[in-house]
Structures are given as structure tokens and as C-alpha cells.
Amino acid sequence: MIVIKNATKTFPGGVTAVDDVSLHIAKGETVGFIGMNGAGKTTLLKLICGLYLPTDGYIRVFRENPFGRKAGENLIGLVTGQVITDGYNYHFGHGSVLLQDDLTLGLNLQLIKSIYRIPKEAYRRRLAALLPKLGLQEQMHYRVHQLSLGQRMKAEVAAVLLFQPPLLILDEPFIGIDVAARETIRGILQEIAREKETTVILTTHNVEELERICDRAILIDHGQIVYDGSFDRLKKSHIGLNRMQIMFEGMPPDLLDLPIERYTVENNTLTLDYDSSIVSSKDLAGYLLSHGRAVDILIQKPTVEDIIKEL
Amino acid sequence: MTRYLSFAVIKFRSKMAYRFDYVLGILDTLLAFVVYWSIYKALYAGAGEVDGVTFSMVTTSFLISLGLSAAFHKNEMFLQDKIKQGTIANELLKQVNFKLRMLFEDMGEGAFHVVFNFLPTAVIASFFAELKAPSGAVNVLLCLVSVILGYIVLWEISFIVQSWSFTLFSVWGLITIKNVLVNILAGAYIPMWFMPDWLRNVIRWTPFDAIYFTPVQLYLGELAGIEIAFHFARQICWIIVLGAVGEYFWRSGLKKLVVQGG
């Protein structure tokens, strides 16, 4: 489906945004791209879309070079939540791909129907399913620039799902979206992931969200892939530190020589970071509870986000 | 083709939502006509003709120019906005030819201005102004063909200027200069008949002549036989030349985009 071999993209000025990346994504996979700002995620996505010419390397999407692909195939659906500034007018716009600002949402969707040649019946059916789900029925007569950021993102998602591209790329789709809408979009994406028909690539800074939707995580740092595999393996192979917080009545007990990575004491609350393969939570809690008068105890497992920070 | 047509239809429909805009548009067009008509009425002061040009020829020519400028209405900041916002690259993901889509959207907008601004003005004007009927059904047909060709010539000039957005920060100034040049040199304000001979000879070698004045001359039946063929050939030549220049600018702009990032 997507084959990338040693792809490199260097911009004039010497910035290498994607550095010798090799990657294979099969049909029906749901992949999450993780990385800090400027790690090269969006550049990699643009290479996959054929919007950038790679400086070096080989990229094939649907067995074709995405760069210079001929019009007429509805292969890639791109939704981007990247907020962009219009350097000329100093207003904040949205990097909309599918929707046109000056048209109402209804007219926009009709335009998509004819651009992507969606049959009338299918269009009506999909619209009837999508609009109530995303709560967009009342927004149909508004011009897109009148919509709020969240409504707009929902509209973008509706637009891309209307023509059902076999490759769906979502770049930061959760920006500006409230909890309810986030759940709806997540639900839709999870459904797509289960059906295994559409290949999905998702980037977001909310790793928890990625973990719930995607089966595969790809960590990108300085333009290179530093991890590629399941979220579970990521957690297992890079065991992060557990964190225990205990609130005591009075002074916390002495820690002696317990194998703890670091600790802090603040207002009678003791915070411990420890490696659970060296000392178990049970032993640690047992010792502390028997040597002091604890009021409250909290144990946190490491999250993927912590692991990434550590990497 | 239906895909491109729907760009025009949807643009037209979305324009219709602004009711106040088209009421003002009619007033605007009508006012322009009345001012022009009054000035030339005073200038003619009852004279039958000046340099062989009658008063009704002048008013008719101006009304046609108004109709053409209504048709030529378009969003000239389109390309700049897309480039400045960085959405130009994303646009290319849409499975349509960008230039064609732009052309059809502009045609939708032009059609709106013809139907809702120009036609009402023309009807009102026909009650009080001295207008000349077309010299024949064939002439109307020929005029329409040359309007379409003239439209493409003007659109291509606009596209070339807009494609400078790939290198310039703002093309607003260039567009304004271009519009002034087109309006004056193409004879939208002052009919070509009244221009000094040397200027007319210069304009003959520019694409501007092919935009406004050729349709006017065809409507009034001023051209005949081989002359008509010559004018059409000239319009088509300009379409080819300007189209090639526009395509070159467009491609080099895109090249910049995919290599340097947008």
C-alpha cells in the first residue's frame, strides 16, 4: 500500500525534515505518527501525498509514485487541523483542504459530491448517516468561515468520509474539538479501523487518543523513525517509571536504602518514581504503610506519553 | 466536464445568497451608465455624429462594455490567498485541474453579475437611452463568440498576474495596475474610435484590443468578411501565447512549492 525506501527531504537552506526514512504500511492498517513539533511528521505526510518532491529515495503509494500522480483518482483523503496564519492579513485561518470558506457547508458537500463523482444514492445515504452523528444538521446553511474551529473540523471529517478514500490521512484532527465531538470522531475512526478496509494515518499530540484508535505507533524524531511497532510493545520494551504518591499525617517515614530512582517531599506528601521490575509496588506500599500513618495513596502506571518524553 | 460545471453553478448559487449585494450591484452599474451617458450627451450636444461615430454607437458600446465587465468579474486574489494560506498544496490533492476549476469558478461569478447586475441595467437603460440594435442575428452570434474568446484572453492575463504570488508578497498592486491598463487600453471607458491613431496602432499589437473592442465592433457590424476572420485569429493567437506564458509561470511556481515547501 505505502512503501517508502530511504526517503529524504531537505529544504533549501539545509533543513532536513525527513532523513532516510524507510517504512511499509499495509492495507487496512491504522497508524499513528508521534513526534514533537518539527520532528518531520507533516513533511512525511506531504511526501506520501505527493505534495513534496523527495530529495532522495523511493516512495510508492498504491504502487504508484504519488508525485505527479494524474488527476481522476480519489485515492487520498487529507484532513488537517494545522492552524495557519495568513501572513498578509494577520488573521488566523484554517488549512482547509476540502471545504471552501465562502460557500455554505451544504454547497461545499454538494461540490464534493460532483468532484468525487459520488452516486446520488450513496451520497444521500452517507450524508444521512454522518450528519446526525457529527451534529452538523443545523450548520448546513452556514458559510464555512462562520463555523467555529470545532464545527469546522467536524465538517472536514464529514467531507472526507463522504467520498471514502482508501487512504485517509488526518493531521492533527482534534485541534479545537470539544470532548463530545472528539468521542464521536474517535468512534468513527475506530469503526473504520475495525473494518480494515481503509488505511488510516493519524497524527496528534494527544498520544492517549492515538493509542485508542491506532494499532501501530511510529515515533519520529529529527526526521527519523525511532520506534515502529505496537503500542503495547512500546510500553513493555521501554518500561517507564511508576509513580507513587502517598499523603501522610505528619512526617513521611525514612526511606532507608530502598531502590528508588528519585523522590520528593512536599506538604507531607511523598512522591516516588521507581522501576517496578526492581521493586514491586506491593513491597514499597507495604513498607511505607507500616512505617507511617498514610491518609491517601495513588499509584500511576507509566503512559506512552511518558515513555516518549523519555526517549 | 460536469465536475467543472458544478464549480460554476455552486459559485453562482452562493453569490445569490447576498441579496443586498445584487441590489447595490444594479445601482452601481446603472449609475455608471447614467454618468457616462450624460457626459457624452453633453459632449455631442445634438450633433449627429463626430468623426463618423454617432451618439447611439457610443452609448451602445459603453453598455456592451458594462456587460463585459460584469462577465469579467472574478476573484483576483484567489491564487494569492491560497498561496499565502498554504492551502495551495492541499488544493492539488483535489482530483481536478486547478486552473480549469479556477476558470469555471470565475465564470460562475461572471454569470451571476451578468444576470443580476447587467441585464436589469440593460433593460432599464433601453427605456431612456439611445441604443443601437445589433446589425443582425449573425452579428450577435459572432459577438458572443468573440466575447468568449475575449474572456479567455482577459482571464489568462489575470492568471499571469496572479501567478506572481508565488514570488511576490502581494500582487494587489499589480492587479490594480493591470485593471487600469485593461480598462483604458481595451476601450472600456473611452471607445477606441476616439483614440489618437498612433495609440490605436500601438494597442493593435497588444492583447487588450481583443478583449472589449472586438465584440463591440462585431455587434455594431463594423467588421466584415476577412476582417472578422482576422480578429478571431488574433484573439486565438493571444489565447495560445498568454496560455503558454501562464502555464510556464504556474509550473515554475509549483516547482518552487514542491521543492522548497509551501
Does the beta carbon of B80 lie under 8 angstroms from any beta carbon of chain A? yes
Judged by CB atoms closer than 8 Å, whether chains meet at B93 and A114 is answered as: no
pLDDT tens digit string along B52-63? 888 888 899 889
**Considering only A133-137, B218-222, B254-258, which range has the smallest mean pLDDT?**
B254-258
Rounded to a whole number of angstroms, the CA Rg of chain B reads 20
Within 8 A by CB and 6+ apart from A219, the residues are: A34, A35, A225, A226, A227, A228, A234, A308, A311
Within 8 A by CB and 6+ apart from B72, the residues are: B110, B151, B154, B155
How far apart CA B226 and CA B220 sit, in angstroms, is: 16
Q: Residue B222: pLDDT band by 50, 70, 90 thresholds?
A: confident
Q: Residue A96: pLDDT band by 50, 70, 90 thresholds?
A: low
Percent of chain A at pLDDT exceeding 90: 18
Task: For chain B, give every domain's residue range.
Answer: 2-256
| Contact list, B81 vs chain A (CB under 8 Å) | 86
Phi and psi torsions of A24, nearest 5°: -135, 125
The model carries a pTM of: 0.79
**CA B82 to mean position of chain CA atoms:** 23
Antiparallel, parallel or unpaired: β B49-50 and B53-54 = antiparallel
Burial of B170 (0-12, 13-18, 19+ CB in 10 A): middle
How far apart CA A214 and CA B166 sit, in angstroms, is: 38
Q: C-alpha cell of A76?
A: 487520498
Give the 3-state secondary structure of residue A29.
coil
Tell me how far CA of residue B189 lies from CA of A199, B74, B99, B119, B125, in angstroms: 58, 19, 29, 19, 17
Q: Is the pLDDT at A5 greater than 90, yes or no?
A: yes
Contact B71, B64 (CB under 8 A): no
pLDDT tens digit string along A131-188? 988 888 889 999 888 888 788 888 888 888 888 888 898 888 887 778 888 888 899 8
How many CB pairs lie under 8 A apart between chains A and B?
78
Contact A103, A84 (CB under 8 A): no
Q: Is the pLDDT at A31 greater than 90, yes or no?
A: yes
Does the beta carbon of A102 lie under 8 angstroms from any beta carbon of chain B? yes
DSSP code at position B50? E
Does the beta carbon of B17 lie under 8 angstroms from any beta carbon of chain A? yes
Give the 3-state secondary structure of residue B244.
helix
Number of other CB atoms surrounding residue B39 within 10 Å: 11
Percent of chain B at pLDDT exceeding 90: 38
How distant is the Cα of B170 from the closest Cα of chain A, in angstroms?
A: 8
Question: Among A133, A139, A182, A181, which Cα is nearest to A161's?
Answer: A133
Backbone CA torsion sign across A83, A87, A91, A96: negative
Q: Which of B6, B86, B262 is closest, CB to CB, to A114?
A: B6
| Per-residue b or e along B141-154, where b marks 16 or more CB atoms closer than 10 Å to that residue's CB | ebbeebbebbbbbb
Q: C-alpha cell of B82?
A: 491560497
Contact A96, B87 (CB under 8 A): yes
Beta strand spans in chain B (E): 49-50, 53-54
Q: Which of A46, A71, A110 is closest, CB to CB, to B10?
A: A110
* ipTM of the predicted assembly exceeds 0.90: no
Residue scoring higher pLDDT (B83 or B99): B99
Cα atoms found within 13 Å of the Cα of residue A132, Cβ hemisphere only: 5
pLDDT given for residue B244 in this prediction: 96
How far apart CA A216 and CA A214 sit, in angstroms, is: 6
Q: Residue A238: pLDDT band by 50, 70, 90 thresholds?
A: low
Q: Residue A235: pLDDT band by 50, 70, 90 thresholds?
A: confident
Give the 3-state secondary structure of residue A76.
strand
Burial of A240 (0-12, 13-18, 19+ CB in 10 A): buried
Q: Which of A93, A95, A115 is closest, CB to CB, to B94?
A: A115
How far apart CA B65 and CA B213 sit, in angstroms, is: 8
Please state the rounded mean pLDDT for residues A277-306: 81
Q: Residue A87: pLDDT band by 50, 70, 90 thresholds?
A: very low
Geometric angle at alpha carbon A20, from A15 and A23, rounded to 5° = 130
Mutation site, B10, B90, B93, interface A, largest A CB count within 10 A: B93
Give the 3-state secondary structure of residue A5.
strand
| Contact list, B97 vs chain A (CB under 8 Å) | 71
pLDDT given for residue A6 in this prediction: 93
Name the closest residue on chain A to residue B9, using Cα atoms.
A111
Question: Among A240, A179, A189, which Cα is nearest to A213's?
Answer: A189
Instruction: Indicate the average pLDDT of chain B.
Output: 88
Please state the rounded mean pLDDT for residues B135-147: 88
Cα atoms found within 13 Å of the Cα of residue B141, Cβ hemisphere only: 3
